[in-house]
Amino acid sequence: MRKINALMALLITGYIIGIVNYILLPKYSIIFGLKGMMIGTLVSVIALILIRSEVESTKRTRYLPYEFMFKVSRTPGLMITFVLFLVFVAGITSYLSGWALIFLLGQDSSFIVLLALLTILIAALLLLMAKGRTVELLAALSVLVIVLTLVSVFQIRNEASSVIVSEQAKLYMDHVFSQMWSLDSPLDVQGLTVFLSGIILAFGLGAGVYYVIGSFSPEELKIGRVLLGVFVLQIILSIAASYAVAYSLGASFQAFENAVHNPNVPSKEVFRFYQKFQMLKTYTENPSVSVYDSIKTFYLIPAVLLEVIPKSRVLVYLLMVSLYLAGFTTVIVLIEMGAQMTAEVIQTSRRSALAVVSILSLATAAVIGNETLFKILGFLPFSIIGLLAALEAYPALKVLQSNERLLTALGAAVMLVIGLVSLYYSFTGPLTMKLAAIIGLILLVPVAFNGILLGGGRQR
């Protein structure tokens, strides 16, 4: 039983400890300080309540997810919405993971799409080969992600301490550290909304995954304990990533200062160092910077660290490997869970369902190689995730006890508020954000056809 609990814990860890924890959550943790962290913790606890409710609903009834949606909540259209959202997230995650790999392979950004496609294909192939051993595979990868992240950040800290000698660079680093743990940082509603949407996304809500996990979870599984452990790990890794950002900011200024005082460095090169420093500085100060620009800035970190701390090449590569694996484990879970849901909805084999989900994910990863489409589709999850998380909680309300139902309803209400505020800022933002929100709302169209799906289900 302990082994099952451990494996399930690592399965959920592999899904939740994803790439968003590295590239976006540290930014807002730094900018909003302790106030932001406290609000984020509150939303995280609410997310955990919803996750527990969703897992317990199918665990107690022993229904498969689509069967549960059809017979209990009478919302089979939600399952189609979940699958559609899931393939978008899988494609986007694979693209962000591929971005991490280009530094390891020494390639330019034109190879990101190819690496994203390979990531999805490898994930699908592993799922076909692993068959019933998927949980064990994810468990091993999850442990690797945690160990590599903590080891690389700790060692980068040691290297940075000995190489970064500029007093101004140290001041910039210290400012980030003090800002993280300060209660005086102002809160920006729009930035806070993206932050909270990122937290919901990081917990993997909105895709129906936890209904699938609950359907095969053993009755003895203490899901509350599992989620508590995952939550603690998520906090630790997010803080570690924030510290990596701080060291990178200090290293960036050190590189700029070294270039200024070196007469052999061309002025264009000096300006390039200055631009990198300014982008990282903005990343740690401006909550209004778009999701796309924030992601681009985060991926400056490996190059910045290598310019100032050349001996840390192995450590930077380890950090990028952990970043890639964090996205890869999420992609594996998304494709597997999406395949299980698809197999139920269209009544096909697991192999065929895996092919369907993989092809749709591949299509998403391929099109976001275009910068404009990436700005649109990359923001799509943030525009709609709160609303999806609220809708996702609805089926669980049908089987929970009164006290659990009340907590779940309150949690869904909070998600709904975040979702509506996010939609408001999406529709008042640039055209790419408007289009992201419109596409996100289109994903909800299947819910409008519940009646037809219920009728078709009876005939089947």
The overall average pLDDT reported for the chain is: 90
At 371-392, the pLDDT tens digits run: 999 999 999 999 999 999 999 9
**b/e 404-432 (16+ beta carbons within 10 angstroms → b):** beeebbebbebbbebbebbbebbeebeeb
Sorted by sequence, the CB contacts under 8 Å of residue 425 that are 6+ apart come out as 190, 193, 433
Question: Looking at residues 351-359, what average pLDDT do you find?
Answer: 95
Q: What is the DSSP string of 6-20?
A: HHHHHHHHHHHS-TH
Q: 133-137, 194-198, 287-291, 413-417: lowest mean pLDDT where?
A: 133-137
Tokens of 7: 């494996």
At 142-163, the pLDDT tens digits run: 888 888 888 888 888 888 878 8
Cβ 280 vs Cβ 304: under 8 Å: yes
Tokens of 99: 């971005």
Position of tokens 């509506």?
A: 420
Domains of the chain and CATH, by start: 2-459 (1.20.1740.10)
CA distances from 76 to 164, 246, 290, 312 (A): 57, 46, 35, 52
Does the pLDDT of residue 18 top 90, yes or no? no
Does the pLDDT of residue 133 top 80, yes or no? no
Q: What is the pTM of this model?
A: 0.94
Question: Looking at residues 98-103, what average pLDDT do you find?
Answer: 88
CA distances from 409 to 75, 231, 281, 372 (A): 17, 21, 40, 37
Cβ 234 vs Cβ 20: under 8 Å: no
CA distances from 51 to 139, 207, 263, 269, 302 (A): 19, 11, 58, 49, 34
Tokens of 431: 């055209």
Pairwise pLDDT comparison (305 vs 93), residue with the higher score: 93
How would residue 451 be classed by pLDDT, with cut points 50, 70 and 90?
A: confident
How would residue 30 be classed by pLDDT, with cut points 50, 70 and 90?
A: very high
How far is Cα 423 from Cα 436, in angstroms, rounded to an integer? 10
How far is Cα 435 from Cα 54, in angstroms, rounded to an integer? 30
At residue 219, the pLDDT reads 80
- Neighbour count for residue 451 (Cβ, 10 Å): 11
**b/e 162-191 (16+ beta carbons within 10 angstroms → b):** ebbebeebbebbebbeebbeeeebeebeeb
Does the pLDDT of residue 243 top 70, yes or no? yes
At residue 457, the pLDDT reads 55
Pairwise pLDDT comparison (32 vs 237), residue with the higher score: 32
How would residue 139 be classed by pLDDT, with cut points 50, 70 and 90?
A: confident
Sorted by sequence, the CB contacts under 8 Å of residue 204 that are 6+ apart come out as 15, 16, 18, 51, 210, 330, 333
At residue 408, the pLDDT reads 96
At residue 1, the pLDDT reads 58
Question: Looking at residues 174-200, what average pLDDT do you find?
Answer: 94
Q: What is the DSSP string of 413-455?
A: HHHHHHHHHHHHHHHTS-HHHHHHHHHHHHTTGGGGGHHHHHH
Q: What is the DSSP string of 256-272?
A: HHHHHT-TTS-HHHHHH
Tokens of 216: 């095969």
How would residue 226 be classed by pLDDT, with cut points 50, 70 and 90?
A: confident
Tokens of 300: 């400056």
At residue 297, the pLDDT reads 92
How would residue 131 be classed by pLDDT, with cut points 50, 70 and 90?
A: low
Measured in whole angstroms, the distance separating CA 111 from the mean position of its chain's CA atoms is: 22
Instruction: Please provide residue 232's backbone torsions phi and psi, each rounded to the nearest 5 degrees.
Output: -65, -45
Question: Looking at residues 231-255, what average pLDDT do you find?
Answer: 90
At residue 82, the pLDDT reads 96
Does the pLDDT of residue 236 top 60, yes or no? yes
At residue 84, the pLDDT reads 96
At residue 422, the pLDDT reads 98
- Alpha helix (H) ranges present in 208-312? 209-216, 223-260, 267-283, 291-298, 301-308
Amino acid at residue number 163:
V
At residue 456, the pLDDT reads 63
Does the pLDDT of residue 2 top 90, yes or no? no
Question: Looking at residues 182-210, what average pLDDT do you find?
Answer: 94
Tokens of 209: 């995954």
Does the pLDDT of residue 458 top 80, yes or no? no
Does an H or E element contain 28, and which? helix 25-61
At residue 223, the pLDDT reads 85
Instruction: Please provide residue 184's backbone torsions phi and psi, each rounded to the nearest 5 degrees.
Output: -95, -5
At residue 62, the pLDDT reads 86
At residue 357, the pLDDT reads 97
CA distances from 296 to 55, 117, 293 (A): 35, 20, 5
CA distances from 441 to 85, 101, 260, 311, 436 (A): 11, 32, 50, 48, 9
How would residue 191 be classed by pLDDT, with cut points 50, 70 and 90?
A: very high
How would residue 336 be classed by pLDDT, with cut points 50, 70 and 90?
A: very high
Sorted by sequence, the CB contacts under 8 Å of residue 371 that are 6+ apart come out as none
Pairwise pLDDT comparison (10 vs 376), residue with the higher score: 376
